[in-house]
């Protein structure tokens, strides 16, 4: 095989190796981004749960205050 063919094969192998390593780096970054977005979604859901509207929480509050109300009515 002529020298030009060997040089071409080596250059193609180097380019393929560089592209492969670059793709592995991109995959690593995308995994990190996906994990961070998952953590953000969990945090937003926690905030949404902690700041529920009054009609959602009102039955729970009334249930907790029922013993107090019955004691106050007896007095």
- Please write the tens of the pLDDT for every residue from 7-55: 999 999 999 999 999 999 999 999 999 999 999 999 999 999 888 777 7
Longest dimension (CA), the chain: 107
Rounded CA separation 26/57 (Å): 45
pLDDT band at 59 (very low <50, low <70, confident <90, very high): confident
**Distances 15 to 25, 51, 68 between C-alpha atoms, Å:** 15, 54, 76
């Amino acid at each position: 095989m002529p020298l030009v063919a060997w040089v071409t094969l080596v250059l193609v192998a180097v380019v393929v190796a560089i592209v492969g390593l670059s793709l592995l780096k991109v995959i690593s970054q995308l995994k990190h981004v996906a994990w961070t977005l998952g953590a953000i979604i969990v945090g937003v859901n926690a905030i949404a749960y902690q700041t529920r509207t009054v009609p959602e929480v009102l039955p729970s509050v009334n249930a907790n205050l029922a013993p107090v109300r019955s004691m106050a009515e007896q007095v």
